[in-house]
Structure 1
Amino acid sequence: MGKKETNYFQNNFGINVFNDKEKRKYLSIEAYNALNEATKERKELDPSFADDVAKGLLNWALDKGATHYTHWFQPLNGLTAEKHDAFIGKPDEEGKISFDFTGKELIKGEPDASSFPSGGLRATFEARGYTVWDATSPAFVLDDEYGAILYIPTAFCSYNGEALDDKTPLLRSEDYLNESVLKLLHLLGYNDVKHVYSYAGAEQEYFLIESQDYLKRKDIVYTGRTLFGASSPKGQELDDHYFGPIREKISSFMQEVNDALWKLGIPAKTEHNEVAPSQHELACIYAPSSLSCDQNQLVMRLLKRIAKHHGMICLLAEKPFEGINGSGKHNNWSVGTDTGINLFSPGKDKKSNLRFLIFLSSILRGVDMHADLLRESVASYGNDFRLGANEAPPAILSIYLGKTLTSLIEEVLNNDLKTSENIKSFINGSKTLPSFPKDDMDRNRTSPFAFTGNRFEFRMVGSEQNIAEPNTFLNVVLSEGLNELSAILEKSVDKEQASLEWIKKTIKEHKRIVFNGDGYSKQWEEEASKRGLMNLRTTPEAIKAYIRKENFDMLIRSGVFKEKEILSRVNIKYQDYHNKAIIEAKTMSRMAHKLFLPCIHNALNNILEEEKEMGSSFLPISKTKEKLIDVLNCSFLALEKLDSLIKEDSQINVEEEKAFFASTKLKKAMEELRAPIDEAELLVPKSLWPVPTYGDILFHI
């Protein structure tokens, strides 16, 4: 990178964000201090400064070319939502307009809440909902060739104050975590700590395909993934795509994505080819969880938008193609203090090691006691096709600690606590290569929840999912264990000894959750069953975790959810699962009726014509004819069955029943229809096949 490019990068990073530099420029010192105080202390902005802040934000946005603003929020459909309002006031007597944006408009909006998922919290005729400014996430301007819009990150709630979004529970969980950790740290003597944050960093996987192929595949258009398709002769067996040279067209796309993200202050860090052909990954530097959640939503949006600039479509579905790896989103999660302590970083002295073991023990406890809730947080219709498929972690929650940490907790159980000062070893290269320190542990890509040095990597999250819920539950389950210890320490004179006793007791009770082996193996599935660990294979099974008493009580007790909010989310999740399944079923039926069966008919007619000319004794013709007749019959019978089940589904009225019907009968019928049609693809001449094949889609960018 030359000097010109370096200066461009430095001068343009964060230019579309209302950051500290811009606040100082556009706000009075009083408004600046009030906003900073509200942001840092996570409290409501003093209303007396709302108009001043709004005026400064308006002037900044106008200077950036913005004409409209929007309250940007995350409703319970996995997407983001926005309504654009112009910065104009009422025209005066001469017909002239002035720019107008008040403190009231900044702090609160009122979108129609009736058309967003509410799970029964709101009736269709009860339309009022509120968006409320989240000052912890900075406002930003998003621009394109059509103009610029000021985006104000907000939470979304009903008229009665119930959360109707993914973000509000995350913000509540951050508050709960802060209170719980501060209480414990102060009991342990860390009185200089004033605030605690959870951090997250998402590794976003995605596929890129040509726009022309996308438009010819109605299954991808309607559902985001292929519902039919025989495997191409070459897949990912040669391991030649992972970390391979990035093709010029993809590199150009990535460069534009980086530029857009950097302007928004999003530190896009790592990009590379992933395992499957046409699959890639983008990872950003971690940030406080709620901010990271917003940033990941923008990453997904910009990946999809910018792909179109390059004649491509970005697929975020967890399993777009059968037979090759699907896409996930590793969620790197940690907890740290305002004094710079990473609470999941192993210590080098007795005091810091004790602190580390407390937090390690608490997360062991939390994951073990609430494994089903964490499984639920990553459950979705699309992710069910990926989890446990020898390409992603299994549906069984376990924790990977590695050899060193596993030995450490065994030492604790044997009353032999040591520091971590001398645990590093070195790997020697050749004479021309330097020696380098060996990490304390290997990596285990089959583990759903792995410790990676100073954080945990939650690897079950699906590529299309909002990371808010997984981080919400991680914050809560960690806090619960810390609160248990705090209650003990408040009554203890020797807090170190009391802590050690609690650590030992907690590890002993919950070490069954630790597994360092091959999570893909059948042996682990059997061993997990013996340990009493849950294996919730489908989303409808996992959704029930919300209302298991231990989970339900914890979520209410923490203040992260109200009872009505939990029950509404259960209904929404059942409904979402069913809706996606029935859309896929109807799409498969339509494609089979309109495309594939007529295509197989045509191919069979051509064979019959050839048979008339060459005779039925010609083996290639007779064999092909037999196979085509067989797949046509199988396809027809499978299609009849699927159509019948689609009609049966319409008669079910209870959301939970509809979801379980979809996960069992409907999905099985879809598999039965796909099998003969995929077989037919290998028999029918390419000139007759009505859609681009896997080979066409995956290997021609």
Structure 2
Amino acid sequence: MVNDELQTYSLTEVFGSNVFNDAAMRERLPKLAYKALKKTIDEGIPLDREIAEIVANAMKDWAIDKGATHYTHWFQPMTGITAEKHDSFISPTPDGKVIMEFSGKELIKGEPDASSFPSGGLRATFEARGYTAWDCTSPAFVKDSTLYIPTVFCSYTGEVLDKKTPLLRSMEAISTQALRILRLLGNTTTKKVITTVGAEQEYFLVDKRLHDQRKDLIYTGRTLFGAMPPKGQEMEDHYYGTLKERVSSFMKELDQELWKLGVSAKTKHNEVAPAQHELAPIFNTANIATDHNQLIMDVLKKVAHRHGFVCLLHEKPFAGLNGSGKHNNWSMSTDDGQNLLDPGRTPHENAQFLIFLCAVIKAVDEYPELLRCAASNAGNDHRLGAHEAPPAIISIYLGEQLTDILEQIENNGGAKSSKQTKRLKIGVTTLPVLPQDATDRNRTSPFAFTGNKFEFRMVPSSASIAGPVFVINTIVAEELRQIADRLEKAKDLNAEIHDVLKEIVKNHKRVIFNGNNYSDDWIEEAKKRGLPNICSTVEATKALIEEKSIHVFENHNVLSRLELHSRYEIFLENYMKTINIEALTMIEMTKRDIIPAVISFITKVADSISSVKSAGVKADTSVQAELLEEVSSLLTDLKKNLTALEKATSDAAHFTGDTYQKACVYRDDVFVRMNELRAVADKLETLTDAKMWPFPTYGELLFNV
């Protein structure tokens, strides 16, 4: 079942073999066409229609050689997943046969039906036309006998309907502003600044046979009921533990499939919770990293099925255990390979690094609500702040070295030194002396500096990383713009840099926190500092339509007021639909599975008491009687809570207020009733005969992998 291609070919030959990458373009395209396409990719110069025809023909021939019969414009609508419509290469001939054709027009532009994709009111249902446009900065690839062409997606009137377009716009915005800073510092050679991302992906694997016996996993991707088993993650033995043979086999094929698609899957290991795992790729440009993460999620699910698993990407598949997220490692680099967030050996002397660092600090402090919104969905509400993931409070971890430098800048008029690294002596003569990093890592921080990048740890495991990345890009671009405006007017550049850095540290140091973000003390401290604590997706979504947010997105041509309002509506609608589906699933499982099973168990216990008494022996039936009374009482409570949930769900569906008010009803009424119903059902699970419980338990799901 596992692909054995790597046993025949070397990894270097397999990697990217199904990607129309630079090597494939160089081989397949005439030199002039190759140079023209590279200029479009690297410099944004429009591609001539004649060149597009040459590229399309070469891409088609390459794809056919790879076994492709169809092509698709692959785009990322506001559903959070990808979309594709497949067309074959065939074109009929007069003699009743076909030839394989693919034109430049078909490469550049597609026309999918836009009416059934979320638009947040931008499009009426009867307005069906939408357009996809080729994104040549992300290479095409062959998968499942189809040529996949990464594209953007917009409406007939030009409004953005996808996640890729604002990401591309934000990449241009931050490059424009960063180049202004670099020019002021004497850099005349860099042509473009690129944001890079490495998105770690956490996920759960459960046995497909068990998965298919649970309606909640089928319909919602998480368990809506489930009592904790005797053993969970408290022994901390799963994290980085030895891979089970079945899981290892799955991971081997996963790597192979991703490598063929040019995804640089680098790290794999067991995560904290039983049945939880992680995959981490090597950094790439933000656009390609986003496309690759969508591929990772798709391939995870498909390969899991081949091995008898189901891959769960929900943020909290199991209550009481660690949930899953995506750690977005974000940085800025020049086109000639310089990392702008690399502090170097003496960061206190590195004015360039300090400017870009302070721009990020100011951006995070100025726009925490937008960052919180970018990391929000209904699933992540279960995870954030649950003493296992970053809290809902946005703060930055810098570590001892950088914090000390910023304190020097604020208090002493400038930084004179950097705390240097030490060497660790482990105390065993045969072991090497280890160089100690300049700063520790803080895995409780939502936005942590980790050497030469920032790790945004709040991102939901099931979500596209495009949203979080284009938010970071845009708000940092705004702060770089403000800094550049000041520096360009300065008579004394060095003095102005000094003043800018000092002002930023003084006014925005409140967002820097190097301690334990999980502690209750931090919640109180953050409140004193004036940092927002936004506890739900519904509340977080409001940030999209605040005037401050609209201004920054419009100012950098990332999203318009109309497009932001549409996303606001889409996010709230998605939240309500998620809660509604979960509530209806709980109602069905309770009515059709749990209540009948408990009644059968009650009958069994009652029959036991009757049988003992009818036998005419003096036997003590108090245990059975107490159990019967307790289970019967809980069943009554279960029915009461079920009725309350049914009413709350019906009332929410018929609520006539605006979208935000209706979302609040789902959050404050329906979701609360769901938790009340679950609490009773989970208690009943611990009392009912295991053989009679209607679906697999946590213990079976987590430890039968």
TM-score with structure 1 length normalisation?
0.97
Residue in 1 that maps onto 2:114: 113
- Aligned mates of 2:416, 2:86 — CA distance in 1: 56
Compute the displacement of 1:47 (Å): 1.9
Compute the displacement of 1:21 (Å): 1.6
- Of the candidates 221, 226, 229, which is equivalent to residue 223 of structure 2? 226
- Aligned mates of 1:68, 1:459 — CA distance in 2: 38
Task: Within 5 Å, give how 1:341-360 maps onto structure 2.
Answer: 341-348=338-345, 353-360=350-357
Residue in 1 that maps onto 2:86: 84
- Aligned mates of 2:277, 2:461 — CA distance in 1: 11
- Of the candidates 605, 620, 623, which is equivalent to residue 603 of structure 2? 605
User: Would the aligned equivalents of 1:348 and 1:419 in 2 still touch at CA under 8 Å?
Assistant: no
- Aligned mates of 1:640, 1:351 — CA distance in 2: 64
Kindly provide the amino acid, as one letter, of the partner of residue 663 in structure 2: A
Residue in 1 that maps onto 2:407: 410
- Of the candidates 574, 585, 588, which is equivalent to residue 587 of structure 1? 585
- Of the candidates 393, 396, 401, which is equivalent to residue 393 of structure 2? 396
- Extract unaligned runs of 5+ from structure 2: 614-618
- Aligned mates of 1:506, 1:334 — CA distance in 2: 20
Change (3 A) 1:594 1:351: closer
Task: Within 5 Å, give how 1:444-593 maps onto structure 2.
Answer: 444-593=442-591
3-state SS, counterpart of residue 66 of structure 1: coil
Residue in 2 that maps onto 1:664: 668
Compute the displacement of 1:28 (Å): 1.3
- Of the candidates 682, 690, 698, which is equivalent to residue 686 of structure 2? 682
User: Would the aligned equivalents of 2:414 and 2:498 in 1 still touch at CA under 8 Å?
Assistant: no
Instruction: Report how many aligned residue pairs link the two structures.
Output: 695
Residue in 2 that maps onto 1:596: 594
Change (3 A) 1:340 1:92: closer
Kindly provide the amino acid, as one letter, of the partner of residue 458 in structure 1: F
Residue in 1 that maps onto 2:13: 11
- Aligned mates of 2:647, 2:5 — CA distance in 1: 66
User: Would the aligned equivalents of 1:343 and 1:359 in 2 still touch at CA under 8 Å?
Assistant: yes
3-state SS, counterpart of residue 267 of structure 2: strand
User: Would the aligned equivalents of 1:350 and 1:418 in 2 still touch at CA under 8 Å?
Assistant: no
Change (3 A) 1:134 1:420: farther
- Aligned mates of 1:350, 1:330 — CA distance in 2: 25
Kindly provide the amino acid, as one letter, of the partner of residue 223 in structure 2: T
Kindly provide the amino acid, as one letter, of the partner of residue 154 in structure 1: T
User: Would the aligned equivalents of 2:389 and 2:444 in 1 still touch at CA under 8 Å?
Assistant: yes
- Aligned mates of 2:458, 2:641 — CA distance in 1: 33
- Aligned mates of 1:278, 1:230 — CA distance in 2: 16
Residue in 1 that maps onto 2:641: 638
Residue in 1 that maps onto 2:266: 269
Kindly provide the amino acid, as one letter, of the partner of residue 106 in structure 2: E
- Aligned mates of 2:322, 2:284 — CA distance in 1: 28
Kindly provide the amino acid, as one letter, of the partner of residue 119 in structure 1: G
Residue in 1 that maps onto 2:35: 33
Q: Which of structure 1's runs of 4+ aligned residues deviate more than 3 A?
A: 2-7, 347-352, 416-422
Kindly provide the amino acid, as one letter, of the partner of residue 703 in structure 2: F
- Aligned mates of 1:47, 1:440 — CA distance in 2: 52
Kindly provide the amino acid, as one letter, of the partner of residue 424 in structure 2: I
Compute the displacement of 1:618 (Å): 1.7
Structure 2 residue 663 is matched with structure 1 residue 648: no
3-state SS, counterpart of residue 458 of structure 2: coil
3-state SS, counterpart of residue 692 of structure 1: coil
User: Would the aligned equivalents of 1:42 and 1:136 in 2 still touch at CA under 8 Å?
Assistant: no
- Aligned mates of 2:38, 2:679 — CA distance in 1: 59
User: Would the aligned equivalents of 1:350 and 1:419 in 2 still touch at CA under 8 Å?
Assistant: no
- Aligned mates of 1:36, 1:673 — CA distance in 2: 59
User: Would the aligned equivalents of 2:550 and 2:560 in 1 still touch at CA under 8 Å?
Assistant: no
User: Would the aligned equivalents of 1:206 and 1:281 in 2 still touch at CA under 8 Å?
Assistant: yes
Kindly provide the amino acid, as one letter, of the partner of residue 54 in structure 1: A
> Which 10-residue stretch deviates more, 78-87 or 331-340?
331-340
Compute the displacement of 1:619 (Å): 2.2
Compute the displacement of 1:346 (Å): 0.7
Residue in 2 that maps onto 1:155: 152
Residue in 2 that maps onto 1:317: 314
Q: Deviations over 1:70-110 (max 9, x none)?
A: 00000001100000000011x22210111110000000000
- Aligned mates of 2:56, 2:465 — CA distance in 1: 30
Q: Deviations over 1:503-530 (max 9, x none)?
A: 1001110000001111111111111111
- Aligned mates of 2:134, 2:411 — CA distance in 1: 51
Compute the displacement of 1:599 (Å): 0.8
- Extract unaligned runs of 5+ from structure 1: none
Kindly provide the amino acid, as one letter, of the partner of residue 440 in structure 2: D
Residue in 1 that maps onto 2:128: 127
- Aligned mates of 1:334, 1:544 — CA distance in 2: 27
Q: Deviations over 1:210-235 (max 9, x none)?
A: 11011100000000010000000000
Residue in 2 that maps onto 1:691: 695
Compute the displacement of 1:607 (Å): 1.0
User: Would the aligned equivalents of 2:6 and 2:14 in 1 still touch at CA under 8 Å?
Assistant: no
Compute the displacement of 1:339 (Å): 2.4
Compute the displacement of 1:613 (Å): 2.2
User: Would the aligned equivalents of 1:377 and 1:469 in 2 still touch at CA under 8 Å?
Assistant: yes
Compute the displacement of 1:42 (Å): 2.9
User: Would the aligned equivalents of 1:344 and 1:455 in 2 still touch at CA under 8 Å?
Assistant: yes
Q: Deviations over 1:597-642 (max 9, x none)?
A: 1111111111111111235952210111121012101100000000
User: Would the aligned equivalents of 1:344 and 1:359 in 2 still touch at CA under 8 Å?
Assistant: yes
Compute the displacement of 1:482 (Å): 1.1
- Aligned mates of 1:607, 1:655 — CA distance in 2: 49
Compute the displacement of 1:697 (Å): 0.6
Q: Deviations over 1:323-360 (max 9, x none)?
A: 11010110000001112221111134589611111111
Residue in 2 that maps onto 1:443: 441
- Of the candidates 252, 265, 275, which is equivalent to residue 249 of structure 2? 252
Residue in 2 that maps onto 1:328: 325
Compute the displacement of 1:250 (Å): 0.5
- Aligned mates of 1:419, 1:178 — CA distance in 2: 30
User: Would the aligned equivalents of 1:197 and 1:336 in 2 still touch at CA under 8 Å?
Assistant: yes
Compute the displacement of 1:662 (Å): 1.0
Compute the displacement of 1:461 (Å): 0.4
TM-score with structure 2 length normalisation?
0.97
Identity %: 48
3-state SS, counterpart of residue 459 of structure 1: strand
Residue in 2 that maps onto 1:21: 23
Structure 2 residue 621 is matched with structure 1 residue 624: no
- Aligned mates of 1:209, 1:219 — CA distance in 2: 13
Compute the displacement of 1:11 (Å): 1.1
Change (3 A) 1:291 1:352: farther
> Which 10-residue stretch deviates more, 640-649 or 35-44?
35-44
Structure 2 residue 297 is matched with structure 1 residue 300: yes
Kindly provide the amino acid, as one letter, of the partner of residue 468 in structure 1: A
Change (3 A) 1:4 1:200: closer
Compute the displacement of 1:248 (Å): 0.6
- Aligned mates of 2:659, 2:578 — CA distance in 1: 13
Compute the displacement of 1:48 (Å): 2.4
| Aligned-residue RMSD, C-alpha | 1.5
Kindly provide the amino acid, as one letter, of the partner of residue 644 in structure 1: K
Q: Deviations over 1:153-192 (max 9, x none)?
A: 0000001111100110000000000100001110121112
Q: Deviations over 1:549-586 (max 9, x none)?
A: 21121111111001110000000000000000000000
